[in-house]
Amino acid sequence: MPQNKERLTIFALLFSFVLLNGCGAAGAPPLTPHVSSVTVSPQFISLTVGNAEQLTVKETLSDGSTVSPHSPNCSSSNANVAGVTSQIQVSALTAGAAVVTCSDHGISGTSSINVQPTFVTTAYQSGTFLYLQNTVGTAVVRLGMDTALGGGVSEFSLNGTDVVAKSSYGSHIMGVGFFDADATYDSGSYGWNPTECCDEYRHGSPVLAQSINGDTIYIKTNALEWVPDNKGGGPTQPVPSDIILERWFSPVANHPYVFRQRYKITHIGTDRHASANDAVPACELNGHLFDTYDFYMGTAPGTGAAPTLLPTAPVTTGGQLEWMAENWGGYTSPQGLSFTAYGPQAFPYGAPGSSTSDPTDEVVGFAFWTPLSFFPGSTVQFDHFLMLGNYLTMQRETYDINRRMGPFPDISPPAGNVNATPASGSTVSGLVSIDGWAFDNESSTSVELYMDDVLQASGLANIPNQMNTVYLGAPPNAAFHFDLDTTKLINGMHTIEVRAKDAAGNVALLPHRIVTVQN
């Protein structure tokens, strides 16, 4: 009996093993991953009639892997505007909008297609103006640079409607202006301020060279100091600055209502200028036309999420600094005409504002805030785009421009400042705290402490602070701290300076402090 019981037990175990394996509990083949999402790239496409774009389709599976489907089913929501082939190539047929949908195993992804008419670009000179003009069917979009005012943009028009502000003294300008954080700016001592167009007395910045080469206009200018009075000039005598501006104006393929400005800025001085709220560039627009300021400040840039629209106040001296997470901003009229400026290499902040001090001079505008620093012989080059049309269309056009023409190099050093103490002119002794903040728009930020141009210490700007409540989108830990032992220095006057550096090697000179050491 015990022997039979043992045999039964062994048989039961063998039966259970076979049963479990037969049902797949122990050695079952793995489940086949299923399609969890489909992505169509590019997600946003701008084309002119007659052009084509190749799409790619990728599937993300339930196990996290990504594969290309063998034969996705693709169709266009408006085949008269954009057709799509079995090879997933989109063809632009007539002006309009369409959505291409690609599906596999019941899961779909989409690509938004914006088709615009073909256009012809002409470049020519008339008087002091150099013009770049796109003819788009019966529409004419024109950019005008006035060489009497440094070659700055003083016309940007659609069918004769010019969005650049005008006044009793003439046209405003879209252009750059620079400041020095180590200088003072008041009526008695106005610091370094090279301006693209002119000075405050309307002397035009001298044009050093100009040319038209096909559909590209080139202008080279010596920027004037905005206030010449304390720099050896005055109402009848302009003062050239130490900044040379070179600009190339050109059309943008597949974007009939867009022009590109390429800037190259060269500092020919032997001095240095610390980072400040430079206007790179500023846009001064006709306040009679526009009633809302448009930009995107959300946390999902590049996805087509809805922009923010702010009503323009009738009279302001300057607005709140806004986070432009997609690096564009603009204004829209009640009739739906929008102006947009796109600065893919600018710092993503701008302050919209308006002024009506002169009834003939109602201005709205904003400037891309880019905190550049200038060393002896330093140069910086960047692209900037001016656009007319519907702001939602132009938002998606910025994605297409970035995809086709990018990636754009990081040219912006970190933003930052040094706290008020120790103040310049103060006397210090013993251990001195040097505190401040710095952050970059694309990478982490390192900081270096210098005394009389000699490196004393280095570290990271990674101490928690609340700068992200002032600058939305900034990191929450942008502060830095150094302890400077002045007992190791000789008594007398010394210059304290902090330099902030990003991963691309761009260096920001933060405002220095001149102190007297007395131990």
Task: Render pLDDT for 463-519 as a digit per residue (tens, 0 to 9).
Answer: 999 888 888 899 999 999 999 999 999 999 999 999 999 999 999 999 999 999 999
Residue 394 CA: distances (Å) to CA of 129, 295, 456: 27, 11, 48
Average pLDDT over residues 117-135: 98
If you average pLDDT over residues 393-412, what whole number do you get? 96
> How many CB atoms are located within 10 Å of the residue 229 CB?
17
- Domain finish residue from 405, 428, 459: 405
Kindly state whether residues 124 and 103 are assigned to the same domain.
no
Q: Find all residues with CB under 8 Å of 484, minimum gap 6, and list them.
A: 431, 432, 433, 434, 449, 451, 456, 457, 496
Q: Which residue has the higher pLDDT, 503 or 31?
A: 503
Residue 185, pLDDT score: 92
* Same domain flag for 359 and 263: yes
The predicted-structure confidence for 146-181, as pLDDT tens digits, reads as follows 999 999 999 999 999 999 999 878 889 999 999 999
What's the confidence (pLDDT) of residue 12? Answer: 42
Whether residues 243 and 109 fall in one domain: no
Tell me, what's the pLDDT at 319? 63
Asked if the structure places residue 81 within a domain, the reply is: yes
pLDDT tens track for 306-329: 998 988 754 444 567 889 999 999
Would 221 be classed as within a structural domain? yes
Question: In terms of domains, do 276 and 129 share one?
Answer: yes
Spatial distance between the Cα atoms of 229 and 201, rounded to a whole number of angstroms: 10
Predicted local confidence at residue 9, as pLDDT: 44
CA 427 centroid distance within chain: 41
What pLDDT does residue 240 have? Answer: 98
The predicted model gives 262-266 an average pLDDT of 98
Q: Kindly state whether residues 199 and 328 are assigned to the same domain.
A: yes
So what's the pLDDT on residue 444? 92
- Print the domain residue range for 24: 1-30
Q: Of 83, 116, 149, which closes a domain?
A: 116
Whether 440 is covered by a domain: the verdict is yes
Residue 182 confidence (pLDDT): 95
Beta-carbon contacts of 115 under 8 Å, excluding residues fewer than 6 positions away, are 47, 48, 49, 81, 82, 92, 93, 94, 95, 96, 97, 98
What CATH number should be reported for the domain holding residue 84?
2.60.40.1080
Tell whether 369 and 490 lie within a shared domain: no
Residue 359 domain-assigned (yes or no)? yes
Tell me how crowded residue 392 is: count the other CB atoms within 10 A of its CB.
Answer: 15
- The end-to-end CA distance of the chain, in Å, is 104
Is there a domain that residue 410 lies in? Answer: no
Q: Has residue 297 got a pLDDT over 70?
A: yes
d(CA 329, CA 324): 7
Lookup: tokens for 52: 């084509």
Q: Are residues 89 and 188 in the same domain?
A: no
Mean pLDDT computed over every residue of the chain: 90
**Is 469 domain-assigned?**
yes
Per-residue pLDDT tens for 200-228?
999 999 999 999 999 999 999 999 999 99
Contact status, residue 515 vs residue 422, Cβ threshold 8 Å: yes
pLDDT bin (cut points 50, 70, 90) of residue 71 is confident
Is the same domain home to 129 and 99? no
pLDDT at 60 over 80: yes
The sign of the dihedral angle between the CA atoms of 229, 235, 241, 245 is positive
Instruction: Give yes or no for residue 105 having a pLDDT over 60.
Output: yes
Residue 11 predicted with pLDDT over 80: no
- How confident is residue 32, by pLDDT bands cut at 50, 70 and 90? low
Q: What are the residues facing 198 on neighbouring strands?
A: 204
Domains identified in the chain, total number:
4
Residue ending a domain, among 81, 100, 116, is 116
Give me the residue label for tokens 């702001």.
391
Of the candidates 208, 234, 233, which has an alpha carbon nearest to the alpha carbon of residue 220?
208
Asked if residue 261 belongs to a domain, the reply is: yes
**Burial label, 13 (beta-carbon count in 10 A; 0-12, 13-18, 19+):** exposed
Q: Based on the fold, state whether residues 162 and 260 are members of the same structural domain.
A: yes
Q: Indicate the pLDDT class of residue 356, thresholds 50, 70 and 90.
A: low
Looking at the structure, do residues 393 and 261 belong to the same domain, yes or no? yes
Query: CATH number, domain at 217?
Result: 2.70.98
Q: Residue 460 falls within a domain, yes or no?
A: yes
Where residue 448 sits, what CATH number does that domain have?
2.60.40.650
Show the beta-strand stretches assigned E in 362-407: 363-369, 379-389
Q: Say what the pTM is.
A: 0.90
| Pair 291, 351 in one domain | yes
Q: Are residues 398 and 420 in the same domain?
A: no
